[in-house]
Structure 1
Amino acid sequence: MGVPLKRMTVDAFLVWEESQLGRHEFYRGEIFAMVGATARHNRVILNLAGRIADHLDTGPYQVFAESMKVRVAEGILYPDVVVACDKAQAGDEQVIASPRLIIEVLSPSTRGYDKRDKFALYRSLSSLTEYALIDPSNFSVEVFTRTGQDAWAFVDQTAAQALTLCSIDLEIPLDQGFRGVQRAD
């Protein structure tokens, strides 16, 4: 998360952000400009979102990538990939209120924030049942699954053959998730 730009309410933020060229996250009255993504980061997002979309096509959920907002208790966040609980015809909505699955693709500048602070905010969402962290630099995969109201189970899936997403009953072979991506040196 970057340096806060200015303070405002959630509603004022949503109106303000509609006129901005870049994306911004919002928490407790402060606005944070989001940094640009690398080709490696974007490719993993598209690989995962595409496979999830194919899987969910006829089911009760739908997937969005990068530009959809998720509302948390005191803020607005942009997950890289989000699966919404309520499947409806996609319209003009900009904010998802009930995500089931959130995937963050890590970058060097956001790794710590995504693992700690952002996950703490996402855990406040009662609809969220799974949170995955994908690191395209070293091909690591970490998945947290809700096991109770305030309990989460952690599984390091880095050595597995597939990313297992229990919340949507899907396995994505890791070679497909990282297709077209070069490890960082």
Structure 2
Amino acid sequence: MIAIQDVKKLSSEEYLSQEKTNLIKHEYINGEVYEMPGASSAHVTIAGNMFFLLKSHLKGSNCRVYNADMKVRIDRLNVFYYPDVIVTCSEEDKGLNYYKKYPQIIIEVLSDSTESFDRGDKFADYRKIESLREYVLISQSKKRVDSFTKQDNNLWILESFSEEENLVIKSVNFNCAVSSLYEDLD
């Protein structure tokens, strides 16, 4: 990732103000602003399928599902990210219009340019979110999903799901065929 703003670091308030009017999304890491890369058709389709399936499953619950236009704020690190899909069941998040602070589930669709960051430093940052229970990574290149689930002792357990299996997201009692995430791909 290459910082856009090298001369002067921005405060989180300056970042939020600018982001409301920017035509291009930017992530924010402790004062530095990073332009978000454009997404492929496959990326958008997979993220959309995941959003739709979760939204349908959680209809009528106190949980809300958001797509890639909603930021996650990590106060402890002074960071804002745009995950592909988030689920929050927090009452505190309902009053926050431009970002969410208490996601229960974060989902990222992997691309060649972001996979190592999503699996590495970004996941390390996400683990600082106390409310986070599950982190799901969906591959674009293979029909495979990796799901990390937080245990009571703060240990994260990895489960991988292949095309012929069902993805299980335990914290919201969600279950779907992995193949349904790849529906409508060319």
Give the alignment's TM-score, normalised by structure 2: 0.91
Residues 61 and 87 in structure 1, CA contact (< 8 A), matched pair in contact too: no
Output the CA distance in 2 between the equivalents of 1:79 and 1:17. Answer: 15
Residues 70 and 95 in structure 1, CA contact (< 8 A), matched pair in contact too: yes
> What are the superposed Cα offsets for residues 68-100 of structure 1, whole Å, 9 maximum, x if unpaired?
000012210000000012369978701001100
Secondary structure of 1:3's match? coil
Amino acid at match of 2:29: Y
Residues 62 and 87 in structure 1, CA contact (< 8 A), matched pair in contact too: no
Output the CA distance in 2 between the equivalents of 1:136 and 1:180. Answer: 13
Aligned equivalent of 2:26, options 1, 5, 24: 24
Instruction: Pick which of 91-100 and 14-23 moved more.
Output: 91-100
Matched positions, count: 181
Output the CA distance in 2 between the equivalents of 1:112 and 1:170. Answer: 27
Amino acid at match of 1:31: V
Alignment correspondent of 1:4: 3
Alignment correspondent of 2:160: 156
> What are the superposed Cα offsets for residues 145-166 of structure 1, whole Å, 9 maximum, x if unpaired?
0003531111111265111101
Instruction: Pick which of 52-61 and 80-89 moved more.
Output: 80-89
Matched, 1:79 2:78: no
Alignment correspondent of 1:174: 178
Unaligned runs of 5+ in 1: none
Residues 45 and 185 in structure 2, CA contact (< 8 A), matched pair in contact too: yes
Q: Which residues in structure 2 correspond to 1:1-185 (within 5 Å)?
A: 2-6=1-5, 7-72=9-74, 73=76, 74-86=78-90, 93-158=97-162, 161-182=165-186
Provide closer, same or farther for how the CA distance between residues 149 and 10 of structure 1 changes in structure 2, counting only shifts above 3 A: farther
Deviation at residue 136 of structure 1 after TM alignment: 1.6
Deviation at residue 50 of structure 1 after TM alignment: 0.3
Unaligned runs of 5+ in 2: none
Provide closer, same or farther for how the CA distance between residues 152 and 35 of structure 1 changes in structure 2, counting only shifts above 3 A: same
Output the CA distance in 2 between the equivalents of 1:34 and 1:180. Answer: 25
Output the CA distance in 2 between the equivalents of 1:117 and 1:100. Answer: 19
4+ residue runs over 3 A deviation: 87-92
Output the CA distance in 2 between the equivalents of 1:153 and 1:91. Answer: 32
Q: CA RMSD in A?
A: 1.8
Give the alignment's TM-score, normalised by structure 1: 0.92
Instruction: Pick which of 60-69 and 155-164 moved more.
Output: 155-164
Provide closer, same or farther for how the CA distance between residues 33 and 52 of structure 1 changes in structure 2, counting only shifts above 3 A: same
Output the CA distance in 2 between the equivalents of 1:164 and 1:43. Answer: 20
Residues 143 and 162 in structure 2, CA contact (< 8 A), matched pair in contact too: yes
Output the CA distance in 1 between the equivalents of 2:23 and 2:96. Answer: 18
